[in-house]
Amino acid sequence: MPPIRIAVLISGSGSNLQSIIDKIEKKEIYGELVLVVSNKRNAYGLERAKKHNIESLMIDSQLIGKDDYNRQILEAVIEKNVELVILAGYLKILDKKFIEAYRNRIINIHPSLIPSFCGKGYYGLKVHQSAVDYGVKISGATVHFVDEEADNGPIILQESVAVDFDDTPETLQSKVLAIEHELLPEAIKLYCDGKLEVIGRKVSISK
């Protein structure tokens, strides 16, 4: 059986993308990263892809309409025979056609313990600012399948971090990012090994 063909969608620096690249190159994930797509021209993740000879595509979401933008991304991943789509710091919402085409084959990582501090508008430092302001004692990261609602799909993996009294949004972000770099590749590995099954709202992980 050939490796699972993977596309990663990004909007920024691509640190989670780098963690995926590293695990694949070390043969810890039975997958092949065949495409990186960015909606921002200056996303450093495009440079990461170039350094590792991975095909990349930049579609500026500000220059074309929403429907055309989503259509072009879907056509690109289908053309590359992509089997699994990863959202790694991707700040756009995929449309229904894309989600229908890749139902339970799109994985996202969110920097909180869903269902806390998630949904429309919760991204970047705002997530961590909200956690700090609320005074929670733990936060963390969640990897989940993507459905039509933001941060709503079945949860694959979660991991927590302690929130200290003197944490700032920036220090909490750093803590959470460190576990994101392990959690996202682990979820991808489980998928590529055929160990994930979606049953209703739950994800079963086989041994």
- 119-161 pLDDT tens trace: 888 988 999 999 999 999 999 999 999 999 989 999 999 999 9
CA distances from 158 to 90, 98, 148, 161 (A): 19, 25, 21, 10
Q: In this predicted structure, what is the pLDDT of residue 17?
A: 97
Active-site residue list:
110
The mean of the pLDDT values for the chain is 95
Q: In this predicted structure, what is the pLDDT of residue 93?
A: 86
